[in-house]
């Protein structure tokens, strides 16, 4: 699954933003929970890794080469769980 930089921009600009999980060819998995934590360049997506799931401030960053991203999945958020009524 190779997307162009332009396709990445469109994906990240969708409103409302859907958090994403990226699966890389080497087995690593990265999450983009907030649009503000992703920067697209011609051949990579740089992702800010936050301190916790709610933070929009990057604790560190990682660079993912676009050709090495083999799958993109919507990330389930911590919203209400179905089937757990009390």
pLDDT in tens, 22-31: 999 999 999 9
pLDDT in tens, 39-53: 999 999 999 999 998
Cβ–Cβ < 8 Å for 50, 58: yes
What is this structure's pTM?
Answer: 0.81
d(CA 86, CA 66): 44
pLDDT in tens, 54-82: 899 999 999 999 999 999 999 876 554 44
What pLDDT does residue 82 have?
A: 43
Which domains, from first to last, does the chain contain?
A: 5-74 (2.30.30)
Structure tokens at 21: 């999980």
Identify which has the larger pLDDT, 8 or 77: 8
The torsion angles phi and psi of 44, rounded to 5 degrees, stand at -155, 165
Using DSSP, state whether 24 is helix, strand or coil.
Answer: strand
């Amino acid at each position: 699954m190779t997307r162009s930089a332009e396709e990445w921009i469109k994906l990240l600009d969708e409103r409302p933003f859907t958090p994403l999980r990226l699966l890389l060819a080497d087995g690593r998995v990265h999450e983009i929970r907030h649009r503000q934590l992703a920067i697209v360049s011609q051949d990579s997506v740089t992702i800010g890794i936050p301190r916790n799931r709610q933070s929009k401030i990057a604790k560190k960053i990682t660079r993912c080469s676009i050709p090495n991203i083999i799958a993109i999945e919507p990330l389930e958020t911590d919203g209400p769980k179905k089937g757990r009524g009390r």
